[in-house]
A and B are shown apart, each in its own frame.
Chain A
Amino acid sequence: MRPFLDNRNALGLAFMLPAAALLLVFLTYPLGLGLWLGFTDARIGRPGHWIGIDNFESLFGDSLARLSLFNTLFYTVIASVVKFALGLWLALLLNRHLPFKAFLRAIVLLPFIVPTALSAIAFWWIYDAQFSVVSWLLVKMGLIDTYIDFLGEPWMARFSTIAANVWRGVPFVAICLLAGLQTISPTLYEAAALDGATEWQKFRHVTLPMLTPIIAVVMTFSVLFTFTDFQLIYVLTRGGPLNATHLMATLSFQRAIPGGNLGEGAALAMAMAPFLLAAILFSYFGLQRRAWQQGGGDK
């Protein structure tokens, strides 16, 4: 026992075991199982047999699966760009010396704290074809005659769900970027001011470069969350109207559980992996910390 306790490497490994076990059981195993199911014809209540890439081939030929891929990409790109722009803007505002600063920052986080399903139900009311509070207000103000069909028209529904997603996701981006902003040394701004830099130049040449590592991390997470969104769509539209808001995650559930086709559902979920991996690699190689940001020279 003694030599073991004296051996730093052995002890280190032993201490890592519980964490490794947790990861294996709760992350690796489900992921591996999902991958395996994607290559089988497993149904609910019936174990599957290996069928190679049949599921993927069949999905490729399925107009609904292709539509869900388009919807997911559209949803992710638009929502992420808007979340980034609004989040950065909000972070810059909150970074100033405002009265009630702590209180304001706490309020900004609220949409992120509310459970998604709850905020989705709130949006369901906001977007309701008959009872929408927005439509009601606009009609009362005499700006429109008929209620807006937020979720009833394909493109309108896409933008409405994106708006709900943005509302929910902006706080996360804003607070993370705010944390990043506060790590930027004021001396840099002073130096820039001495050089006669304008506000825009300060932002462009000091703030933005110093913020890129944080932006990379935040936006990677934001893209991952958006790409795999499920609850919001499930509560608001179930993928309708005319499947215009069906994302790959919601379609995967629909096929696997109500439809009973675990294999196809898993394959659809697995088909999301390459896109997610690409997003991670892009941020890793494209936006990671540069040497000059830590005082090194340009290479």
Chain B
Amino acid sequence: MSNIKRRDFLKISAGLAAGAAGGVPLLAQAQTAWKPEKGAKLRVLRWKRFVAGDEDQYMKNVAAFTKKTGVEVRVDNESWEDVRPKAAVAANVGSGPDIILSTFDDANLYPEKLLDVTDLADYLGKKYGGWYDVCRQYLQPGGKRWIGLPLGCAGNAFVYRISQMKEAGFDSFPRDTAGFLKLAKALKAKNHPLGFALGNATGDGNTWTHWLLWSFGGKLVDDKNNVVVESPQTIQALEYAKELYQTFVPGTLAWLDPNNNKAFLDDQISITENGISIYYAAKNSQDPKIKAMAADIGHANLPIGPVGRPTELHLFFNQMIFKYTKYPNAAKEYLRFMMEKEQYEPWQQASIGYVTHPLKAYESNPIWTVDPKHTPYRDCMKIMLPNGYSGKLGYASAQCMADFIVVNMVAEAASGSKTPKEAAERAQKRAERYYKV
């Protein structure tokens, strides 16, 4: 199913229709389109684009939807961290946008306010080779109904300067944490420091510190939501963070989400963790110096730690339809339309893969191979772990993330303001407050 073409779709759809006509019960239930209510209008709230191509193509797709169905769609854009409070208020007061594109585990905070989209998820999953496992963890709590539709994730990778890596004596980017630390030290010795956000940076701070913790086998909670962060594995991860921090550029304790992008493009750091937006910005820059840097930018998936498998966290995007919508069918049809290959793949292409797909079939989107520098971002959804790993998602996991417990723990230990043991103890106490009930 991974190499599916448009013509194949038609065949499959035709087959489904024939099956339905033939009265095969399972196929008869499979719905392929939702008929929008008469006079339906939709309001969509989404996070503001990180790369320009995204919004342009998204709005083209919206226009195509309106042309096809006659349903008027108003799309509002908000800075991604402002979407969460707005979605929360909408859930609370029971009115607002019909559809909200939000982040991380938001849907798990008010699942009973969200429209069941199991039929839609089943339809898309069957058609496009299935959803990656992590989608179910985010949006199919307890393996029952789907409370939202995955949109994908803003994948993060290590963004590095190829020439500086070579200067430090490495031909390729290390695949494991031990090798990565060696590279970091060698780069620092050549006066090419690294830079990773250690301030209260919701996106970049959370993603790389969780990767670090998990890669050594540490985690905030176990499968039963018991807080277990105070562990030898965590201490090991924090010791590693302490060593890595010695190779950082000054000021990272204050870094928020935009800082690493700016520092990297200004040639001040050799490696950071980020989405493909730095590369996108360099490629499309008017400044010839920055444009030239694009050729020297490399991407690598986050190294694998002692646990022996990828442990990445990425900014997961969900699409939620609220129960209060007057036009549930129009809303479902909208999401179906936007997720279909004809719309989804051009949208991914326009943002050069800023959003990694949740459906396996889109692995074959040419955007991932047209430039080898895009490829690491292709697998982000496949290899990522969910927020609150390895416990259940809900209020406690959202609160721990919002309170920057892991970010603060790593920052405290890395900067030496607390010993790794003290930092882990404090994180344990802070997390226990949230997981007590």
In contact, B402 and A152 (Cβ under 8 angstroms): no
- Chain B residues closer than 8 Å to A43, beta-carbon distance: 109, 395
Question: Would you call A202 an interface residue if the criterion is a C-beta within 8 Å of the partner chain's C-beta atoms?
Answer: no
By a CB distance below 8 angstroms, the chain A residues around B429 are 63
Cβ contacts under 8 Å, B252 to chain A: 129, 152
Q: Would you call A130 and B109 a contact (CB within 8 A)?
A: no
Asked if A242 CB lies within 8 Å of chain B CBs, one says yes
Q: Are B251 and A238 in contact (CB under 8 A)?
A: no
Q: Which of A119-134 contact B (CB under 8 A)?
A: 127-131
B81 CB contacts on chain A under 8 angstroms: 258
Q: Which A187-239 residues have a C-beta within 8 angstroms of B? A: 237-239
**Distance of A257 from chain B, by nearest CB (Å):** 4
Contact assessment for B84 and A147 in the assembled complex, using a CB-CB cutoff below 8 Å: no
Is A157 part of the binding interface, using a Cβ–Cβ cutoff of 8 Å? yes
B437 — nearest CB in chain A belongs to which residue?
Answer: A41
A255 with B403: in contact, given A45-B88, A58-B433, A241-B411 (CB under 8 Å)?
yes
Q: Give the shortest distance, in Å, between B202 (CB) and chain A (any CB).
A: 7
Q: Is B351's beta carbon under 8 Å from chain A?
A: no
The answer to whether B250 and A152 touch across the interface, beta carbons within 8 angstroms, is yes
Asked if A180 lies at the interface with its beta carbon under 8 angstroms from chain B, I say: no
Task: Tell me whether A146 is interfacial, beta carbon within 8 Å.
Answer: yes
| Interchain CA distance A260-B91 in the complex, whole Å | 11
A44: B residues at CB distance < 8 A: 88, 91-92, 109-110
A46 to B199, CA, bound (A): 31
Interface string of A82-108 (1 = CB under 8 A from B): 000000000000000000000000000
Map CB proximity to A onto B187-211 as digits: 1 under 8 Å, 0 otherwise. 0000000000011111000000000
Contact B403 A152 (CB under 8 A): no
A268 to chain B, nearest CB (A): 12
| A160 → B minimal CB distance (Å) | 9
Q: Pick the interface stretch among B56-64, B253-261, B299-307.
A: B253-261
* Total contacting residues, chain B, CB less than 8 A: 43
* B172 on interface, CB distance cutoff 8 Å: no
Interface residue from B109, B251, B426 paired with A260 (Cβ < 8 Å): B109
Are B254 and A130 in touch, CB under 8 angstroms?
Answer: no
Q: Could you say which residues of chain A place their CB within 8 Å of the CB of B403?
A: 64, 254-255, 259
Bound form: Cα–Cα A127–B263 in Å: 14
When C-beta atoms are compared, the residue in chain A nearest to B250 turns out to be A149
Considering only residues 368-408 of chain B, those with a C-beta below 8 Å from chain A are 395, 398-399, 402-404, 408
Question: Inside 8 A of A239's CB, which chain B residues have their CB?
Answer: 200
CA distance A153 to B110 in the complex (A): 38
- Inter-chain contact A259/B402, CB cutoff 8 Å: yes
CA separation between A242 and B201, bound complex, in Å? Answer: 12
Residues of A within 8 A of B109 (CB): 43-45, 260
Is the pair B85, A241 in contact by a Cβ cutoff of 8 Å? no
Please tell me if B246 contacts chain A, counting CB pairs below 8 Å.
no
Note all chain B residues with C-beta closer than 8 A to A129: 249-252, 254-255, 259
Q: Decide yes or no whether A151 CB sits under 8 A from chain B.
A: yes
CB distance from B407 to the nearest CB of A (A): 9
Q: Is A6 an interface residue (CB 8 A)?
A: no
Report A149 CB to chain B, min CB distance, Å. Answer: 5
Q: Is A154 an interface residue (CB 8 A)?
A: yes
Docked-complex contact B430 and A242, CB < 8 angstroms: no
Is the pair A131, B266 in contact by a Cβ cutoff of 8 Å?
yes
Option from A128, A149, A259 in Cβ contact (under 8 Å) with B399: A259
User: Chain A residues near B408 (CB, 8 Å)?
Assistant: 242-243
Question: Which of B268, B404, B411, B426 is the one whose CB lies under 8 Å from A130?
Answer: B268
Contact of B262 with A by CB under 8 A: yes
Q: B402 contacts A254, CB within 8 Å? A: yes
Residue A240 CB within 8 A of the other chain? yes
B415 within 8 A of partner (CB): yes
Chain B residues whose C-beta falls within 8 Å of the C-beta of A255 in the assembled complex = 399, 402-403
Over the window 222-260 of chain B, the binary record of Cβ atoms lying under 8 Å from chain A Cβ atoms (1 yes, 0 no) is 000000000000000000000000000111111110010
Query: Is A62 an interface residue, CB under 8 A from the partner?
Result: yes
Q: How many angstroms between the C-alpha atoms of A76 and B404 in the bound complex?
A: 25
Cα A149 to Cα B404 in complex, Å, equals: 22
B412 within 8 A of A: yes
Cα–Cα, bound, A259→B403 (Å): 7
Cβ-defined partner of A242 (8 Å) among B113, B262, B417: B417
Query: B198 — nearest CB in chain A belongs to which residue?
Result: A241
Report which of A63, A64, A237 forms a contact with B254, defined as CB distance below 8 A: A237
Most buried by B among A127, A128, A131, A259: A259
Query: Which residue of A58, A130, A260 contacts B259 across the interface (Cβ within 8 Å)?
Result: A130
In chain A, what residue has the closest Cβ to B251?
A129
| Chain A hits for B266, CB < 8 A | 130-131
Query: CB distance B250 to A260 under 8 Å?
Result: no
Give the docked Cα–Cα distance between A64 and B404 (Å).
11
Instruction: Look across to chain A and name the residue whose beta carbon is closest to the beta carbon of B113.
Output: A45
Pick the residue among A63, A130, A240, A257 that contacts B200 (CB under 8 A): A240
Contact with A along B82-124 (1 / 0, CB 8 A): 0011001001100000000000000001101100000000000
Chain A, 240-267, CB within 8 A of any chain B CB: 240-243, 254-255, 257-261
Decide: B201 and A238 in contact? CB cutoff 8 A: yes
Q: Which of A128-171 contact B (CB under 8 A)?
A: 128-131, 146-147, 149-154, 157
Which residue in chain A gives the minimum CB-CB distance to B258?
A124
Query: In the complex, A252→B123 CA distance in Å?
Result: 42
Which B408-437 residues have C-beta < 8 A from chain A?
408, 411-412, 415, 417, 426, 429-430, 433
Q: How far is the CB of A155 from chain B (nearest CB, A)?
A: 11
Q: Which residues of A, 15-69, contact B by the 8 Å Cβ criterion?
A: 43-46, 58, 61-64
The answer for the CA separation of A259 and B250 in the assembled complex, in Å, is: 30
Q: Are B417 and A154 in contact (CB under 8 A)?
A: yes
Residues of B within 8 A of A (CB): 81, 84-85, 88, 91-92, 109-110, 112-113, 198-202, 249-256, 259, 262-263, 266, 268, 395, 398-399, 402-404, 408, 411-412, 415, 417, 426, 429-430, 433
Question: With contacts A130-B268, A260-B88 known, what are 17 further pairs, Cβ within 8 A?
Answer: A61-B433, A129-B255, A149-B253, A152-B253, A237-B256, A239-B200, A240-B256, A242-B412, A242-B415, A242-B417, A243-B200, A243-B408, A254-B402, A255-B399, A258-B81, A258-B202, A259-B402
What would 18 A/B residue contacts be, using CB atoms closer than 8 Å? A43-B109, A45-B113, A63-B429, A63-B430, A129-B252, A130-B263, A130-B266, A130-B268, A149-B254, A152-B254, A238-B199, A238-B201, A241-B415, A242-B408, A243-B408, A257-B84, A258-B85, A259-B398
Interface residues of A (CB under 8 A from B): 43-46, 58, 61-64, 127-131, 146-147, 149-154, 157, 237-243, 254-255, 257-261
Return the 6 tightest CB-CB contacts between A and B, nearest first.
A129-B251, A45-B110, A151-B254, A241-B253, A238-B200, A259-B402
